[in-house]
Structure 1
Amino acid sequence: MGHSQADKARSRERILEQAAGQVREMGLESVSVSKLMSSAKLTHGGFYGHFASRSELLLHALERALDDGRAAFEAKNGTGPHDYCATVRGYLSRKHRDARASGCAIAALAGDVARADEASREAMSSRIEQFAVNLGASMNQEDADKALFAVSALIGALVVSRVMVDEKRSDAVLAAAKRQLLALNEDN
């Protein structure tokens, strides 16, 4: 007995949802096809009806994780022009730092993607470029280099703050980056 296209689409959606959540929380290499299919209540053999390879799955899971992160940001901040200072403060907050599984997927996965295939790097590169364009539009100046620097500093500071074991040092990383990035926007 065959499955309808709607059933197949729902199954693919379950697989991607599970995989995207897993890569955000534990990284790209954490995905085991057999465990993923089991958690999606599907057979291991059925995987190839949805994806040609594990690499293809990882690319789609990465794209989903990045899109989910963007959607969460837009749900909180709206889709229009964003306030630079509010973005910096929110991104470099304790709440965001502590939300590893639901926070910025770029920060969560940049190290993995740096070692991944070109398609995965391209998927993340395009999201980073868009982040820089959006952040640049909210800055007091029109300097693409400053916007790209600000995005790099935001992501880097969040990653380093998550690495720090001592919570006071982690908070210090966030506070220092926040001060510098807010001052950057005042420079004209």
Structure 2
Amino acid sequence: MGHSQAGKTENRERILAEASRQVRKNGLESVSVGELMKSVGLTHGGFYGHFSSRAALLAEALARALDDGQKHAKRQEHTTGQENQTGDLPGFARSYLSRTHRDAPESGCAIAALAAEAGRAAPECRDVMSGHVDAFIGAISQMLGDDREKAMVAVSAMVGALALARVATSAERSDAILKAVREHMRTLATD
């Protein structure tokens, strides 16, 4: 790879990493091409040498944000020793529906943080989110003995609970939402 191609690849990676960070922290609509390019020390005009459109950038940034959320969850499992074995939906729910996860949308599950926004975004973003939601349902389905219908209910409940807990203005209400769905996941796993 020549120096100019290596430099272009490095610049593209810097743009994508920063866009992903912005998406995770402030949402899809927070990304301004001009401000993004300035933040990584590049000109606005150079953007189209890396991405065909803002929608294409957002789709890739969303994919990166979703992947980063999954990697963060795996690291958390390994560092806390709470690795979830097949069939351990309650263990997974304890971690997913925790105060720590609720309070860190920028490093947690991007599905909970960005699903509603992605649903209103360009088709490229919806496609990316849809694939990750399907993978999440698939992983939970394995925990439930390959019961995809129960997995859809579990994922919907957990993602919804996390989103609603983040919206609640009272810490007690927020904690109650997380606790209620954690307990329901225990029941769902034993049905």
TM over 0.5: same fold? yes
1:71 Cα deviation from its structure 2 partner = 1.2
1:77 Cα deviation from its structure 2 partner = 2.6
Match of 1:164 among 154, 168, 186: 168
Name the residue aligned to 1:145. Answer: 149
Counterpart amino acid of residue 97 in structure 1:
R
Secondary structure in 2 matching 1:4: helix
Match of 2:114 among 106, 109, 113: 109
* TM-score under structure 2 length normalisation: 0.92
1:142 Cα deviation from its structure 2 partner = 3.2
User: Which residues of structure 2 form unaligned runs of 5+?
Assistant: none
Secondary structure in 2 matching 1:22: helix
Kept in 2: contact 1:81–1:137 (CA 8 A): no
1:52 Cα deviation from its structure 2 partner = 1.1
1:3 Cα deviation from its structure 2 partner = 5.9
> In the TM superposition, what whole-angstrom CA distance separates every residue of 1:72-109 from its partner, at most 9, and x where no partner exists?
11222369855322110000000000011111000110
Give % identity. 50
* TM-score under structure 1 length normalisation: 0.93
Counterpart amino acid of residue 17 in structure 1:
A
What is the aligned length? 185
User: Which residues of structure 1 form unaligned runs of 5+?
Assistant: none
Q: Please provide the CA RMSD for this pair.
A: 1.7
Name the residue aligned to 1:185. Answer: 189
Kept in 2: contact 1:25–1:100 (CA 8 A): yes
> In the TM superposition, what whole-angstrom CA distance separates every residue of 1:138-178 from its partner, at most 9, and x where no partner exists?
22x43210011101111000000000011110000001111
Give the direction of change, closer, same or farther, for the CA distance of 1:31–1:115 in structure 2 (3 Å limit).
same
Name the residue aligned to 1:154. Answer: 158
Give the direction of change, closer, same or farther, for the CA distance of 1:38–1:73 in structure 2 (3 Å limit).
same
Give the direction of change, closer, same or farther, for the CA distance of 1:150–1:108 in structure 2 (3 Å limit).
same
Kept in 1: contact 2:69–2:109 (CA 8 A): yes
Kept in 1: contact 2:22–2:31 (CA 8 A): yes
Counterpart amino acid of residue 183 in structure 1:
T
